[in-house]
Amino acid sequence: MTLSVEALLEGEHEALTRVAVEKALSGDIGALGLCLDRIAPPRKDAPIRFNLSAVRSAADAVKASTDVIAAVADGVLTPAEAARIMALLTQHRLLIETADLEERVSDLELRFG
């Protein structure tokens, strides 16, 4: 929004909202759509149900990624859904590896002080 438009709208938000609500309540379909989009915006994402192995180690992440690829091959997941899940698996694997390394370093420090 340009600065001049912002200046014109300054202090008018409540009045404009009231007009939109009144028009929606009187049957203006465009205003109704605008109001409903603010109350309940369209979902950009939805839950996906499919079988995925538990991921507690880097090796488990490999098994889980195999599950994801199989789900795409079976038509359970779209490639885009699979890509998002694979990104989650990658981040989770990195967290597991970091925690494992921290534990190993701590054990070494205790043993060799």
Kindly state whether residue 44 falls inside one of the protein's structural domains.
no
Residues with Cβ within 8 Å of 85's Cβ and at least 6 positions away in sequence, in order, are 48, 52, 68, 77
Kindly state whether residue 47 falls inside one of the protein's structural domains.
no
CB-based burial label for 96 (10 Å; 0-12, 13-18, 19+): middle
3-state secondary structure 35-98: HHHHHCCCCCCCCCCCCCCCCCCHHHHHHHHHHHHHHHHCCCCCHHHHHHHHHHHHHHHHHHHH
Q: Is the pLDDT of residue 101 over 90?
A: yes
Sign of CA dihedral 9, 13, 17, 23: negative
Kindly state whether residue 107 falls inside one of the protein's structural domains.
yes
Q: How many domains does the chain have?
A: 2
pLDDT digits (tens, 9 = 90+) for 67-93: 999 999 999 999 999 999 999 999 999
Q: Is the pLDDT of residue 2 over 70?
A: no
Q: Looking at residues 46-65, what average pLDDT do you find?
A: 90
Domain co-membership, 62 together with 98: yes
Range of the domain at 80: 58-112
pLDDT digits (tens, 9 = 90+) for 19-47: 989 998 999 999 888 888 888 887 777 88
